[in-house]
Amino acid sequence: MEKEKLKDILINAKPGDFDRIMDHIITQEDIEDFNNLYSKFVILENEYKKMIFNRKEAAKELTKILSLLHKMNDLIGRDIASKKDYYEISVRNSKDININEQYKVFETLRQLASHEAVQYDIKTIEYTTFDNSERHGYRTTGKYTEKIIILAEKEALSKLDNSKKMPYLNQQMLLDIYNQGFSMVLAGNNECTIEHLNIENVYKLGEFNPIIFYLHDDELAHAASSLMEFIEENGADFSQIDVNDLIRAIKSKYKNRNKKI
């Protein structure tokens, strides 16, 4: 199905189409339409300047074109500003991982670290937490679902069941995994659970929804070091990069340096 063009969406817009218009992704064809429409305006404007008769009708046509150009310009400008912010953040905060790309980090690390002798696994665990808070003199209890992603040695993770929501998950359960002698990588929406395990060798990647590394001197730590070197030189924007391509790039340039984080 051919993608609808911005110009056509605006020309045929009806009440209630605001979300449809704002959600439209600007394409190269939209830019070409804008350019062609502006060129048409310039031609008609030059003709208008030479007119003595029928100026009123010609001005109506010019106004119609300018109105459409103005709407297109606003939306194209909004898209440009959004892209500018995106790439500025990618440069300025080179170690911030987009939450939608975290799975690429975990899968890349898993494949880099695993070999015949040691296999690493990734589990996404959902569990229940409760929050007791007091507002206006009344104490309320809220029940929430938390989610945590864990990368660790496969056997060490075997006791955690990710096939259903767990009744609870606490720091001791995570410490038990780490204390089996293998590195562990965590991400989740409860920083109290994953960021304060009282482990000395800890590293954090990103500020918002960070990935937390608790490291021993093992293959996963070496893989993490290679990934960090890649990020230091290339940034942490992994969108549009396939996991296999990312792994090949890291292996080709960083895997054998064996530096520690």
At 155 the pLDDT is 94
Is the pLDDT higher at 242 or at 95? 242
- Give the highest mean pLDDT range of 72-76, 170-174, 195-199: 72-76
Write out the two tokens for 230: 């890649």
Is the pLDDT at 218 greater than 60, yes or no?
Answer: yes
Residues 30-45 have a mean pLDDT of: 98
Range in 80-84, 90-94, 104-108, 239-243 the model is least confident about: 90-94
CA 196 to each of CA 32, 170, 171, 203, 204: distance values in angstroms, whole numbers, following the listed order: 53, 11, 8, 11, 11
Closest CA to 109 of 185, 182, 178, 204: 185
CA 187 – CA 148 distance, rounded (Å)? 6
Is the pLDDT at 25 greater than 70, yes or no?
Answer: yes
Residue 162 near residue 124 (C-beta atoms within 8 A): yes
- Give the highest mean pLDDT range of 1-15, 25-39, 232-246: 25-39
Return mean pLDDT, the chain: 89
HSE-up of 71 (CA within 13 Å, CB side)?
Answer: 18
Residue 224 near residue 186 (C-beta atoms within 8 A): no
Q: What are the pLDDT digits (tens) for 119-142?
A: 999 999 888 776 666 666 666 666
Is the pLDDT higher at 64 or at 95? 64
At 159 the pLDDT is 85
Range in 6-10, 43-47, 255-259 the model is least confident about: 255-259
Residues 163-171 have a mean pLDDT of: 80
Contacts made by residues 142-148, CB under 8 angstroms, sequence distance 24+:
146/188, 146/189, 146/190, 146/193, 147/188, 147/189, 148/124, 148/186, 148/187, 148/188, 148/189, 148/190, 148/193, 148/194
Element (H, E) at 90: helix 55-92
At 259 the pLDDT is 60
CA 125 – CA 160 distance, rounded (Å)? 8
Element (H, E) at 214: strand 211-214
